[in-house]
Amino acid sequence: MSNPGSPTIGVFDSGFGGLTVLRALLERFPRARFAFLGDTARLPYGSKSRRTIARYAAQSAQFLVREQGAEFLVIACNTASALALDAIKDAVSVPVLGVIEPGAAAARAASRTGDVLVIATEATVHSHAYLAACQALGLRAIEKACPLLVPLVEEGWTGVPIAAGSVTSAAAAQAASAPPQVAVTEQVIRIYLDELNAEAKAAGLNPDTLVLGCTHYPLLRPLIQAAVPRGVRVIDSAESTAETALLQFGSRFANQAALPDSKIDPEIRCFASDSVEKFERLGSRFLGRPTGSVELVDLGG
Amino acid sequence: MSNPGSPTIGVFDSGFGGLTVLRALLERFPRARFAFLGDTARLPYGSKSRRTIARYAAQSAQFLVREQGAEFLVIACNTASALALDAIKDAVSVPVLGVIEPGAAAARAASRTGDVLVIATEATVHSHAYLAACQALGLRAIEKACPLLVPLVEEGWTGVPIAAGSVTSAAAAQAASAPPQVAVTEQVIRIYLDELNAEAKAAGLNPDTLVLGCTHYPLLRPLIQAAVPRGVRVIDSAESTAETALLQFGSRFANQAALPDSKIDPEIRCFASDSVEKFERLGSRFLGRPTGSVELVDLGG
Q: Backbone dihedral region of A2: left (phi > 0), alpha (psi from -120 to 50 degrees) or beta?
A: alpha
The upper half-sphere exposure of residue A160, i.e. CA atoms within 13 Å in the direction of its Cβ, equals 27
Distance, in Å, from the CA atom of B231 to the CA atom of B221, rounded to the nearest integer, reads 15
DSSP B147-200: TTHHHHHHHTTT-SPPPSSS--HHHHHHHHT--HHHHHHHHHHHHHHHHHHHHH
Model ipTM over 0.95: no
DSSP A102-136: HHHHHHHHH-SSSEEEEEE-HHHHHHTHHHHHHHH
Cis upstream peptide for B44 (omega within 30°): yes
Measured N-to-C along each axis, helices A276-287 and A19-28 cross at an angle, to the nearest 10 degrees, of 40
Angstrom CA distances, A62 to A9, A46, B15, B163, B214, stand at 13, 21, 32, 53, 39
pLDDT tens, position by position, A235-282: 999 999 999 999 998 888 765 555 555 566 778 999 999 878 888 888
Partners of residue B74 on adjacent β-strands:
B11, B97
Percent residues over pLDDT 70 in chain A: 88
Collect all residues of chain B within an 8 Å Cβ-Cβ radius of residue A193: none
Residue A166 banded pLDDT, cuts 50, 70, 90 = very low
All structural domains of chain A? 8-98+240-296 (3.40.50.1860), 101-237 (3.40.50.1860)
Both ends of chain B: CA-CA distance in Å? Answer: 31
Q: What's the whole-number mean pLDDT along residues A178-195? A: 95
A48 and B41 within 8 Å at the Cβ level: the answer is yes
Q: Backbone dihedral region of B10: left (phi > 0), alpha (psi from -120 to 50 degrees) or beta?
A: beta
B275 and A47 within 8 Å at the Cβ level: the answer is yes
Whether the predicted pLDDT of B257 surpasses 60? no
DSSP category for residue A163: P
Nearest to A151 among B49, B147, B191 (CB): B147
pLDDT tens, position by position, A46-83: 777 888 899 999 999 999 999 999 999 999 999 999 99
Q: What is the pLDDT of residue B175?
A: 47
Q: Nearest CA to B232 among B117, B149, B99, B133?
A: B117
Amino acid in the structure at residue A42: R
Strand order in the sheet with A70-75: A96-98, A70-75, A8-13, A33-38, A267-272, A295-296
Nearest to B148 among A151, A180, A301 (CB): A151
Which residues of B are annotated as catalytic?
Answer: 77, 214
Residue B112 banded pLDDT, cuts 50, 70, 90 = very high
Nearest to A181 among B41, B152, B191 (CB): B191
Q: Going by DSSP bridges, is the β-strand pair A267-272/B295-296 parallel, antiparallel, or unpaired?
A: unpaired
Chain A residue whose CA is closest to B182: A188
A223 SS3 class:
helix
Q: What is the pLDDT of residue A260?
A: 57
Q: How much is the pTM?
A: 0.89
A241 close to A9: Cβ distance less than 8 angstroms: no
- Return the beta strands (E) in chain A as ranges: 8-13, 33-38, 70-75, 96-98, 115-120, 140-145, 209-212, 233-236, 267-272, 295-296
pLDDT tens, position by position, B7-20: 999 999 999 999 99
Q: What is the pLDDT of residue A266?
A: 78
Q: Which listed residue (A134, A146, A214, A270) is catalytic?
A: A214
Interface residue ranges in chain B relative to chain A, Cβ cutoff 8 Å = 40-41, 43-44, 47-49, 147-148, 151-152, 154-155, 180-181, 183-184, 187-188, 190-191, 274-275, 278, 301
B234 SS3 class:
strand
When mean pLDDT is compared across A191-195, A213-217, B46-50, B137-141, the lowest value belongs to B46-50
Collect all residues of chain B within an 8 Å Cβ-Cβ radius of residue A40: 47
A 10 A CB-CB count for B277 gives: 11
Interface residue ranges in chain A relative to chain B, Cβ cutoff 8 Å = 40-41, 43-44, 47-49, 147-148, 151-152, 154-155, 180-181, 183-184, 187-188, 190-191, 274-275, 278, 301
Q: Nearest CA to A238 among A272, A286, A168?
A: A286
Distance from CA of B186 to the nearest CA of A (A): 10
Q: What's the whole-number mean pLDDT along residues A290-301? A: 87
Percent residues over pLDDT 90 in chain B: 73
Amino acid in the structure at residue B287: L
Distance, in Å, from the CA atom of B82 to the CA atom of B114, rounded to the nearest integer, reads 22
